[in-house]
Amino acid sequence: MSIEVIDSELTEQRLNQLTQALGSGMFVHVRNMLHDMAASDVALILESSPPKTRQVLWQLIDQEQAGEILEELGEELKDSLISGMTPEKVAQATSGMDTDDLAYILRSLPDAVYKKVLQSMSSQDRHRVEQALSYPEDTAGSIMNTDTVTLRPDVNIDVVLRYLRQRGNLPDTTDTLYVVDKNDHVLGGVRLADLLTCNPSETIRSIMDPELESIPVDMPDNEVAQLFERHDWISAPVVDEQQKLLGRITIDDVVDVIREDAEHSMMGMAGMDDDEDTFGPVMKSTFRRSLWLTINLFAALLAASVSNMFEGTLEQFATIAILMTIVPSMGGVAGNQTLALVIRGIALGHIGQSNSRWLIGKELAIGFLNGIMWSVLVFFAVWLWKDDMALGGLIGGAMLINMTVAGLAGASIPLLLKKLNIDPALAGGMVLTTVTDVIGLFAFLGLATIFLM
């Protein structure tokens, strides 16, 4: 009996084989290949295929696997596949899903389909799902499962062992059973490892961890993720305001939150929606991206209108026009460095009331030091290039002003946006670049007008 060692080239190979088989119309062969794969691998293949190929592949998959495959897909692709299914098919495909994943899918369905899917479910499933849907998105409640196994504190381990053998299985990713009193209040947790290694005649109370931390159901999911990361948890109990056990959160859902938040920051900073599907249709992508470009057009026109104020100077000195992009460009890069640092700090929970002033001061200092360094460099560079010392001085002075402002703005803009409940990862970059462009142009063209005209 040999064991499968994972080959990182495998997906690539499979994708090539599938593409070829599809190209030559060998649909039965493709169907067999897909049925032999794990759901997560089929999901990866779907994610990596252009829209037309996806439609064909989706028809050929093992219908039993449909739900599992949907669970693994990115949001945009998932929505587009579900929108092509009948409500009955959706209900059938989703019947074996974890509550939290099912609720996640139902949230994105149009109202009519949503109701039909709920109607096609068994009443028990419907109840489970309706409860999950009652928690707001992006909170502990929305990523929670309700399949907890609970124990009473005063039974012996061997009683628990008999009970578990009778039960026959445990929910996925169970590492800890929760100990509760008769009102479902959490008293502690017992790890499976402890059940296996402790003396069977001991009581649950004596081996449980009474310090087990519970998560309030309304905690934002990114804070839940921070706790899991910090404490290396596999699962944690979720409680209501009365500390009553409602369910549990498992590390696999937390990993999804971490990945989504990270993507959100990275894509957001580039002005992209993190739901965007890499191999999605062209027209949809074009429109999705236009919001950001519209905002940028206004920012660019604003910068141009600053230049417009100095038309006289620009008319007289073409050299000023040639050099005028350097100062905004350096300010933009320096400001973005600070911005990325502060956004990460906010995401990791490192930045709060008590240290934000210190941080702004630090970044201002770095901006000023950077400003001195780069203004000297650019002074010599321009002096040598244009053989004009005064011009070098002007651009150096403007650089110092803009780099200092960039440090200040890079640190304070995300903190300000956060206070206003605007996502800094999304809006920070555009606001910052507008500031550094406008200040950079003002400083350079202003100084030039004062000293040269």
Q: Please give the residues from 91 up to 130 whose contact with its own copies meets the rule CB under 8 A.
A: none
* Contact residue for its own copies among 69, 303, 394, 439 (CB under 8 A): 303
Q: Quick one: tokens of 281?
A: 């249709």
| Residue 73 DSSP SS3 | coil
Q: How many residues does the chain have?
A: 453
* Contact residue for its own copies among 86, 95, 199, 206 (CB under 8 A): 199
Q: Is residue 377 a contact residue for its own copies (CB under 8 A)?
A: yes
Among residues 14 and 128, whose Cβ is nearest to its own copies?
14
Which H helix or E strand runs over 81?
A: helix 75-82
* Contact residue for its own copies among 30, 102, 143, 195 (CB under 8 A): 195
Among residues 79 and 114, whose Cβ is nearest to its own copies?
79
Least separation, in Å, of the C-beta of 34 and its own copies?
A: 16
First to last CA, the chain: 86
Q: Is residue 24 a contact residue for its own copies (CB under 8 A)?
A: no
| 169/96 Cα distance (integer angstroms) | 16
* Contact residue for its own copies among 285, 383, 416, 423 (CB under 8 A): 285
* Contact residue for its own copies among 62, 138, 263, 423 (CB under 8 A): 263
The burial of 78, by beta-carbon neighbours within 10 Å (0-12 exposed, 13-18 middle, 19 or more buried), is given as buried
* Contact residue for its own copies among 81, 340, 405, 426 (CB under 8 A): 340
Least separation, in Å, of the C-beta of 95 and its own copies?
A: 19
- Lay out the site mask for its own copies across 33-72 (x = CB under 8 A, - = otherwise): -----x-xx-xx--xxxx---------------------x
Query: Strand 245-250 and strand 235-239: pairing?
Result: antiparallel
* CB distance 223 to 189 below 8 Å: no
CA 32 to each of CA 26, 39, 60: distance values in angstroms, whole numbers, following the listed order: 10, 14, 9
Least separation, in Å, of the C-beta of 167 and its own copies?
A: 6
* Contact residue for its own copies among 29, 113, 159, 271 (CB under 8 A): 271
Q: Which of 220, 211, 209, 210 is nearest to 254 (CA)?
A: 220
Query: Among all chains, which residue has been given the structure tokens 């949001």?
Result: 75
Among residues 124 and 242, whose Cβ is nearest to its own copies?
242
Q: Is residue 289 a contact residue for its own copies (CB under 8 A)?
A: yes
Size of the site for its own copies (CB under 8 A): 148
Least separation, in Å, of the C-beta of 248 and its own copies?
A: 14
Radius of gyration of the chain (CA): 29
Query: Among all chains, which residue has been given the structure tokens 């064991």?
Result: 3
